Amino acid sequence: MADCECLAGCPFFNDKMKDNQGLGAIYKRTYCQGDSSQCARHMVFKKLGKPAVPADLYPNMVDRAKQILAAAVKI
């Protein structure tokens, strides 16, 4: 797997979010350096653009990402 296209500017990957050790390191390997298509942040980014990605959205929050995307469709 290739690194995520958003890696350079991702606040999660670049330690601007609180969980940068432990689970954060696992998330980075899994989503940022693994399958970014399963990352909640990437899902929102791809459909709605970077400004639509909430600052507190973690890569594993897929259900929340789906809610954000569903709400955007209704608008």
Confidence of residue 18 (pLDDT cuts 50, 70, 90): low
Per-chain mean pLDDT for the chain: 88
Comparing CA positions, the residue from 36, 65, 63, 61 lying closest to residue 53 is 65
How confident is the model at residue 10, as a pLDDT?
87
Of 6 and 1, the one with more pLDDT: 6
Confidence of residue 61 (pLDDT cuts 50, 70, 90): very high
Instruction: Dump pLDDT digits (tens) for 28-51.
Output: 889 999 999 999 999 999 999 999
* Alpha-carbon gap, residue 66 to 29, rounded angstroms: 22
